[in-house]
Structure 1
């Protein structure tokens, strides 16, 4: 029955999405398209490479950048919805470098200069670049560019999303060397926006895979800004929707160009010239176009004034709003404060958040820095209005949704650090989106969750429900209660207990009578139904948590006895998977499931399931098998989710000092499986050179959470400590930055 339900559910999900698209699937859907949900394993960039090395954000404006500082993702008004920048990747070369569909995608800066020999121009991304952070305690990327030696120019960009704003600001510092032949210079800033405020149930494609052709862009002369906008009907809600993004310098620009995308023009577009081409071809000047429709681009110029120490500065502001008026208002507000004041406000905001958190007691600076980045990435993934937390803000792969599988572990990190109200809000979101009499679904039985949800609660992925998520959903609803105290604890549990009951009732009925295992169903994001240890252990964890919740709330209904009896039968079935010859548990029937990994499922059996006491010979054998498989996987050609194994084994060892033998693996993962800036992808692949390269949705928030919890379990924890200085302060004190830029 479960297999038929899952298969029928996927078909119904696709049908519902197709109906939203005028009864025909979008041309980008399916085999050969940019979104194919039937792929056997999409965790290795099957939707195109993730070109991200750094992230800035404030939970309203979220900006991801590649190592050259190009903005590759710009989410507004939250990390889930919507990506307002056009950037589509195709492949990686043998060195891991990303290739895009067109050269004018993303948002980036260039420099126009004049010497005695004439004018020249270069996009900064074509110069040598080095990227890092202003501080390990901030999501403030710093990218330094060096021109060819003959020009004697260097540029530093510092990026920030000021707290409680609808804006992103990019500060640029330009320096000339003593022997530079450059006499005058200007900054040209380019953006290929893709404004969108529309999403489709089950298919997360509208803000990256199928860019619209109904955009409008115009230069606003009073505001000295270009506003790109979209308005229409949101397919998910059937309601009118709109969005606008404004681009401007902190001071008046000296020229502008609004035009149509020259490389991906829209049918029937305005055909205005693309500022990207105007900037990079002689005479390197923007044409002054003021309006365009279709697929549009925007470019602005600002002349630089060098001081006596050959320093100049400029600031770019990108602001969002529901329409042009509100986007321009957000732009004006961001212009009113200096960059130094905005950065200081950002420091205070992040200090308040991080000061209450814990760090591992580690002698490894890299482990410490990655643990800090894990906490920062988790906060940046949160949509404050609903409490939803996305797997990643990226669209390649399309992970700007909330998976309750991931969320159960993310909630644990938040609870460990005292963010009780955030977890309460998050779990109330889960209770709301669960299928119930008040929230019925044509594709999902009551008591189950969507594969993933957009931040507004709409189904955001194609598989209607997954049995492992049902079990993990019960666990997180109950587990949070164990961190609460007083009357608030009981009120919380009473509020979510109906959702727990619905899930436990379903899991009790969804049984294979021939084996005692759970019914065959979708597991772990795989479209092929299976009946494996992955589903069994999470159903076991969910039923056990439901029984504990019933005891805590005083529920004496006979259904609790049925849950207990079902738990016993499932326990016996899982015991039947134990293989004495291998001293470990078998996977069961995972045929066709490309995501199930023996060290991952074994890791979960150790924690959070803790199927038997750790001193039990079977659990000691499982620990040894998981650790061995994890170490072998780390030597392989590619891998993913080793953090599941590391965390489970760390718990099985009992924490420090017994888990000290895992410190080498922890340090290896922090040093080798992250970007130079300390971000994990969902997966990694080994290049021809032998170097592992993180891939797929950096920063992947769940991978970071697994690493962070493993680090605390291996090393123990201590209060958070902050870096003593930062790049901005050092530059101001040394004179590398103009005094005006530091005030």
Structure 2
């Protein structure tokens, strides 16, 4: 049944325009109901604070989504959409439970509002003397969680309430299999229901419904295996239940063209089952079988074997001793047999061997990860290591792309080249340059081509809509290299930072492979540098307006200038050292010199965020070759940075975003002082102890103050905030690692 939801405006945050703008992400696309995400580079899932699965994606990290679950978001009218052209003036709405929440746990984590609470994938327990199950999304549970070890990707959630439940989750590193172990105390029957909806269609775009109507074709119960198989065949047609019931092999015989098949079941045969209609927001005849969750409301399941249409399925297992362990296996494949065989093999091997395999795989990652040996704070170390693990989970196995978050709401499951530059710095520094090799190959493939293109975002900003795309990069990409969710023609900072990223990674390439890498990367860097030159007005000494960092309006701030300066000097160095193109190097150096001179001139006047842009201050310190030790131009930037960091760390703001990024910039400031180092240390402690998600050590994109702690929102885990925490830790102890990755300074003019 649809819950009536009235969204309330969030009070303006004039002291932090960036926070104000970022609050719009959940307004537009829905709140992230996750406190962790798990992945093997193909299969990814989000886990809520209450051990629910809230997204399930396969076979890539961008698509497709196979679970029907979504949270509330604002449906925008035409005038609302027009207002979004000014992000700082647009009004965000709260899409989460607040003070009025029906439980303290929901209030603590800010459970997102849900139009249809029956959607998702979760357990339910029948308590003795109760007439219906209590589900994990009922507001009766208090939750805690932790990972099995510091290097582990096995998540353990403890829930206390009407009964006691421990849920252990992990994605197998080798197979496309999610393992969910439930240890139950105080219940007579265990239920599990899911609104799985396999799909062959990717969901893209900011204003695209997260609830596609064509997802989920049918599901059947296979009695011999005790499995339910949801599927979306490439050729949609339905066949009645064959004599003797369905088996995975019979399904494949009827659907030889394959598709997406999701098989799920327990580690033993269930006591009962139900395959029925998912009625959440859908109309069905009264004769249609009840969905699994609705059918379980009387404590029993009827045993319907198949349904063609959107499905809510359920299994149950009796617990005569009021306790027991029930493992749920969820597997995916391109055929029914492929998916079912994963569950069959998992049952044979057993959960202990499967857990050992996962632990060993992630222990190797932990052992390789570089951590400054001088750091001793256990909480800081735990969050730093977790951030590297999460980043590795965010790399798509097939393409090498790295997504900004595995989150579906908001849709951050795309590769943002701007973010990727710093992700790759993190992977190189952490000791995984081979992962950057694969990511670099992806980025080199997606560079834009063509001499002319039409950009409607230029037009709505009353500018000439035709532009030269060659050499630039889109705001984001799907993991298959197609354009992602953002409508921008290109982003100048994405282009600039990608060129720098390809240049600086060369230092991490083994000597025997440097020449081949330089040949591939040079072609991309050369085209990108020429594309940036179109936007450097050397006579005016500044940039021509372009799109910067998700902004819907063209601008020319330090944000674009610092990234362009960085790219031109990286390209000039590559031209000289890699290919001996001194003429091109001189031309790019000349433009960089003019740009640097103008940037320094602007720092002599009143310095404001309007001049600096969102990240212009941060990148002016690093990686831009702008400020040298002893340069007085650093002082106004340091004053702004120190003031903003201090206000956030001392809790003087209602919320904030990107604190780790600011700490990282301060750690690489050319005139860093012991006082700065003490503030950086306070910032890391603040993030590790008061801000990171309880028990998992992740971050959202934004954090809102809730008493002494902070509530993370938007795209959890947010990989940018996580890896900037890690990079700050390294930069605090060993800043020289990063100074070597800054391009040369341009010649003085």
TM over 0.5: yes
Selected match of 1:312 from 324, 327, 340: 324
Displacement of 1:562 in angstroms is 2.0
- Tell me the TM-score normalized by structure 2: 0.81
Single out whichever of 456-465 and 538-547 deviates more from structure 2: 456-465
- Tell me the TM-score normalized by structure 1: 0.81
Is 1:131 matched with 2:156?
Answer: no
Q: Residue 270 and residue 160 in structure 1: after superposition, are their counterparts in 2 closer, same or farther (change >3 A)?
A: farther
Q: Residue 517 and residue 194 in structure 1: after superposition, are their counterparts in 2 closer, same or farther (change >3 A)?
A: farther
Q: Determine the C-alpha separation between the residues in 1 that align with 2:204 and 2:182.
A: 40
- Which residue matches 2:364? 352
- Which residue matches 1:297? 312
Q: Residue 42 and residue 458 in structure 1: after superposition, are their counterparts in 2 closer, same or farther (change >3 A)?
A: farther
- Which residue matches 2:38? 56
- Which segments of 5 or more consecutive residues in structure 2 lack a partner in the other structure? 1-8, 10-19, 73-94, 99-106, 237-256, 456-467, 736-749
Displacement of 1:146 in angstroms is 2.7
Q: Determine the C-alpha separation between the residues in 2 that align with 1:650 and 1:73.
A: 36
Query: How do 1:202-221 residues align onto structure 2 when only pairs under 5 Å count?
Result: 205=208, 208-212=210-214, 215-221=217-223
- Which residue matches 1:727? none
- Which segments of 5 or more consecutive residues in structure 1 lack a partner in the other structure? 1-31, 33-38, 177-181, 235-239, 591-595, 718-743
- Which residue matches 2:724? 706
- Which residue matches 1:45? 26
Selected match of 1:155 from 165, 168, 186: 165
Report if the CA contact (8 A) 1:198-1:233 is conserved.
no
Is 1:335 matched with 2:343?
Answer: no
Q: Residue 204 and residue 188 in structure 1: after superposition, are their counterparts in 2 closer, same or farther (change >3 A)?
A: same
Q: Secondary structure at the match of 1:199?
A: coil
Q: Residue 198 and residue 705 in structure 1: after superposition, are their counterparts in 2 closer, same or farther (change >3 A)?
A: same
Is 1:448 matched with 2:472?
Answer: yes
Displacement of 1:266 in angstroms is 5.7
Q: Secondary structure at the match of 1:390?
A: coil
- Which residue matches 1:568? 593
- Which residue matches 1:559? 584
Selected match of 2:437 from 424, 430, 436: 424
Query: How do 1:469-618 residues align onto structure 2 when only pairs under 5 Å count?
Result: 469-512=494-537, 515-556=540-581, 558-580=583-605, 585-587=607-609, 596-597=613-614, 600-618=615-633
Report if the CA contact (8 A) 1:198-1:241 is conserved.
no
Report if the CA contact (8 A) 2:156-2:167 is conserved.
yes
Q: Secondary structure at the match of 1:359?
A: coil
Q: Secondary structure at the match of 2:633?
A: helix
Report if the CA contact (8 A) 1:260-1:297 is conserved.
yes
Report if the CA contact (8 A) 1:44-1:683 is conserved.
no
- Which residue matches 1:681? 700
Deviation digits for residues 66-97 of structure 1 (CA, Å, limit 9, x no counterpart): 11111111122232222222221122122323
Displacement of 1:43 in angstroms is 5.5
Deviation digits for residues 553-592 of structure 1 (CA, Å, limit 9, x no counterpart): 1332633332122112211221232135x5xx545568xx
Query: How do 1:648-727 residues align onto structure 2 when only pairs under 5 Å count?
Result: 648-652=665-669, 659-676=677-694, 677-687=696-706, 689=707, 691-716=709-734
Displacement of 1:656 in angstroms is 9.5
Selected match of 2:427 from 374, 395, 414: 414
Output the aligned Cα RMSD.
2.7
Displacement of 1:131 in angstroms is 2.1
Q: Secondary structure at the match of 2:344?
A: helix
- Which residue matches 1:229? 231
Q: Secondary structure at the match of 1:455?
A: coil
Selected match of 1:198 from 171, 196, 201: 201
Report if the CA contact (8 A) 2:500-2:566 is conserved.
yes
Selected match of 2:392 from 369, 376, 379: 379
- Which residue matches 2:663? 646
Report if the CA contact (8 A) 2:61-2:394 is conserved.
yes
Q: Determine the C-alpha separation between the residues in 1 that align with 2:533 and 2:438.
A: 27
Q: Determine the C-alpha separation between the residues in 2 that align with 1:164 and 1:350.
A: 12
Q: Determine the C-alpha separation between the residues in 2 that align with 1:233 and 1:550.
A: 52
- Which residue matches 2:281? 264
- Which residue matches 2:81? none
Q: Determine the C-alpha separation between the residues in 1 that align with 2:113 and 2:203.
A: 28
Displacement of 1:698 in angstroms is 0.8
Q: Determine the C-alpha separation between the residues in 1 that align with 2:401 and 2:181.
A: 31
Q: Determine the C-alpha separation between the residues in 1 that align with 2:566 and 2:603.
A: 18
Q: Residue 514 and residue 93 in structure 1: after superposition, are their counterparts in 2 closer, same or farther (change >3 A)?
A: farther
Q: Secondary structure at the match of 2:396?
A: coil
Q: Secondary structure at the match of 1:395?
A: coil
Report if the CA contact (8 A) 2:646-2:679 is conserved.
no
Q: Secondary structure at the match of 1:649?
A: helix
Q: How many residues align?
A: 644
Q: Determine the C-alpha separation between the residues in 2 that align with 1:340 and 1:702.
A: 34
- Which residue matches 2:242? none
Report if the CA contact (8 A) 2:198-2:215 is conserved.
no
Report if the CA contact (8 A) 1:44-1:695 is conserved.
no
Deviation digits for residues 659-678 of structure 1 (CA, Å, limit 9, x no counterpart): 24421111112222221121
Selected match of 2:270 from 253, 261, 280: 253
Deviation digits for residues 130-180 of structure 1 (CA, Å, limit 9, x no counterpart): 2222222212121222343xxxx422111111221110011111235xxxx
Q: Secondary structure at the match of 2:599?
A: helix
Selected match of 2:96 from 72, 92, 97: 92
Selected match of 1:121 from 126, 130, 133: 133
Selected match of 2:175 from 142, 165, 168: 165
